[in-house]
């Protein structure tokens, strides 16, 4: 009898599962969408079992919901859908997609980055057709994308993201989601799920992200590092998964915060590639409290492309670390003051009240060689 050996890689399996469970919506494209004149490859899908697919009806519900609510939340936006691979080993070459039913077969045109749109078809709806790929079940995250054309690179609009959230949770339901009992109590009472402070929607940027800033006129707010890389996920999930595909692209924004109007811009500052820097720097202090540090004092001894992460750790102690598979790591040093720190630590109470919190954070990207590639020091007053 031939011996069969099966290897089970828990981190990769768990990462794929959790990406499916928590990465609800908001996949952004990395290249501009093609114009109407740009050539697009037509594809066809042969019938097969165990394929990755979603009911066609869900896409129709998404389009109906978009038509009803976009005039208010995102009047200039466009609705698309997207497939994003959940596993590093997944193949996307020769990917094919079609609306498929007993007598219906409508090939779909795939844009760059696997975006696509769908037309309404009465027969497909009547036949309970599916939107089917030629890949095995579980290969992709299927997502909604709402985007206003003409925005600067790495910039999203808050109203677009709010509508995107509502389409996914109230209409399309293309992803798999995990919610707390509190969520079901609130939504059963008629609450808008995307306006709940305890709803976390993970979004994904066009490229690896270093910082997220909300901008509305002269008002600017840098979001805390916990808004990046799935920082809101429970600690046990992050402990077993480590890095996963696309984690350095993840971000969250306070969709529920009505003080930020729908035309607020969400600026995503990308991670940079930094060359070795020969600029002379002062020796680091023996030790220093983060609370007393200023940007000016920090700039005297922290030089991007030169300063060692060990020097920073020697001054401020041990950071919160997220290690990415490509070699870079996110380091965060944080101090928090005020009563909000205590209230936020109380289960349920902190979620419901979201008290004012005063944070000071030093966020760094440390390269594979242990050198600081990028950093920022921010003080912020938050209610999330």
Task: Classify residue 368: in a domain, yes or no.
Answer: yes
Task: Classify residue 36: in a domain, yes or no.
Answer: no
| Residue whose tokens read 């944070």 | 359
Average model confidence (pLDDT) across the chain: 82
Do you know the residue count of the chain? 384
The percent of residues above 90 in pLDDT, for the chain, comes to: 52
Q: Which residue has the higher pLDDT, 23 or 128?
A: 128
Number of domains in the chain: 2
Task: Classify residue 358: in a domain, yes or no.
Answer: yes
CA distances from 291 to 221, 297, 333 (A): 19, 12, 10
Rounded CA separation 88/163 (Å): 30
- What was the pLDDT predicted at 21? 41
Same domain, 57 and 17: yes
- What was the pLDDT predicted at 93? 76
pTM over 0.85: no
Grade residue 36 by pLDDT with cuts at 50, 70 and 90.
very low
Same domain, 322 and 254: no
Q: In this structure, are strands 265-270 and 250-251 parallel, antiparallel, or unpaired?
A: unpaired
Task: Classify residue 282: in a domain, yes or no.
Answer: no
Same domain, 222 and 254: yes
pLDDT tens per residue, range 103-139: 999 999 999 888 999 999 999 999 999 999 998 888 8
- What was the pLDDT predicted at 290? 92
Same domain, 223 and 359: no
- What was the pLDDT predicted at 345? 55
- What was the pLDDT predicted at 56? 97
Task: Classify residue 139: in a domain, yes or no.
Answer: yes
Task: Classify residue 353: in a domain, yes or no.
Answer: yes
Task: Classify residue 2: in a domain, yes or no.
Answer: no
Q: Report the pLDDT averaged over residues 57-76.
A: 97
Residue of 63, 130, 74 whose CA lies nearest to 98? 130
- What was the pLDDT predicted at 51? 85
Supply the DSSP string of 234-277, one letter for each residue.
Answer: -HHHHHHH-S-TTGGGEE---TT-TTS-TT-EEEEEEP------
Same domain, 78 and 162: yes
Q: Which of 117-126, 302-311, 345-354 comes out lowest in average pLDDT?
A: 345-354
Structure tokens at 262: 């729908």
- What was the pLDDT predicted at 154? 95
Q: Terminal CA-to-CA distance of the chain, rounded, Å?
A: 59
Same domain, 15 and 161: yes
Res. 15: pLDDT tops 70:
no
Same domain, 135 and 253: yes
Same domain, 203 and 304: no
With H, G, I as helix, E, B as strand and everything else as coil, classify residue 144.
Answer: strand
Domain end residue (candidates: 240, 270, 300): 270
Q: Which residues make Cβ contacts (< 8 Å) with residue 296, sequence separation at least 6?
A: none
Q: Report the pLDDT averaged over residues 268-275.
A: 90
Buried b (16+ CB within 10 A) or exposed e, 151-183: eeebebbbbbbbbbbbbbbbbbbbbebeeeeeb
Q: Which of 33-47, 60-74, 144-158, 264-278 comes out lowest in average pLDDT?
A: 33-47
Q: Which of 162-176, 207-221, 255-269 comes out lowest in average pLDDT?
A: 162-176
Same domain, 227 and 255: yes
Grade residue 351 by pLDDT with cuts at 50, 70 and 90.
low
Grade residue 5 by pLDDT with cuts at 50, 70 and 90.
very low
- What was the pLDDT predicted at 81? 96
Same domain, 304 and 337: yes
Which residues span the domain enclosing 377?
Answer: 290-382
Residue of 382, 296, 285 whose CA lies nearest to 336? 382
Domain end residue (candidates: 270, 304, 329): 270
Q: Report the pLDDT averaged over residues 180-190.
A: 82
Domain end residue (candidates: 239, 270, 301): 270
Same domain, 297 and 234: no
Task: Classify residue 37: in a domain, yes or no.
Answer: no
Same domain, 261 and 305: no
């Amino acid at each position: 009898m031939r011996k069969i050996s099966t290897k089970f890689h828990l981190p990769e399996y768990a990462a794929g599962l959790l990406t499916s469970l928590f990465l609800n919506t908001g996949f952004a494209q990395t290249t501009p969408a093609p114009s109407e004149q740009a050539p697009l490859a037509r594809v066809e899908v042969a019938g097969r079992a165990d394929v990755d697919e979603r009911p066609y009806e869900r896409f129709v519900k998404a389009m109906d919901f978009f038509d009803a609510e976009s005039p208010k939340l995102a009047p200039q936006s466009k609705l698309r859908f997207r497939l994003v691979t959940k596993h590093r080993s997944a193949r996307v070459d020769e990917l094919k997609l079609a609306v498929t039913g007993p007598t219906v077969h409508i090939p779909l045109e795939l844009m760059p980055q696997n975006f696509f749109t769908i037309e309404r078809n009465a027969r497909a709806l009547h036949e309970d057709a599916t939107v089917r790929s030629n890949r095995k079940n579980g290969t992709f995250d299927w997502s909604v994308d709402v985007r206003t054309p003409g925005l600067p690179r790495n910039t999203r609009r808050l109203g677009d993201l709010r509508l995107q959230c509502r389409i996914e949770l109230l209409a399309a339901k293309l992803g798999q989601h995990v919610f707390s009992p509190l969520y079901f109590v609130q939504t059963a009472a008629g609450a808008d799920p995307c306006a709940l402070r305890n709803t976390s929607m993970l979004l994904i940027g066009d490229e690896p992200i270093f910082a997220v800033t909300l901008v509305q006129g002269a008002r600017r707010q840098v979001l805390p590092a916990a808004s990046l890389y799935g920082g809101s996920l429970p600690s046990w999930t992050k402990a077993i998964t480590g890095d996963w595909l696309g984690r350095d692209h993840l971000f969250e924004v306070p969709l529920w915060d009505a003080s930020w109007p729908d035309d607020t811009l969400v600026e995503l500052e990308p991670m940079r590639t930094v060359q070795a820097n020969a600029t002379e720097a002062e020796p680091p202090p023996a030790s220093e409290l983060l609370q007393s540090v200023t940007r000016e004092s920090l700039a005297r001894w922290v030089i991007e492309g030169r300063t060692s992460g060990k020097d920073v750790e020697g001054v401020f102690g041990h950071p919160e670390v997220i290690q990415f598979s490509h070699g870079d790591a996110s380091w965060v040093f944080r101090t928090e003051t005020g009563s909000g720190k205590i209230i936020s630590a109380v289960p349920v109470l902190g979620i419901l009240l979201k008290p004012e919190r005063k944070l000071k954070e030093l966020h760094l990207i440390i390269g594979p060689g242990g050198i600081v590639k990028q950093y920022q020091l921010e003080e912020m007053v938050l209610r999330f």
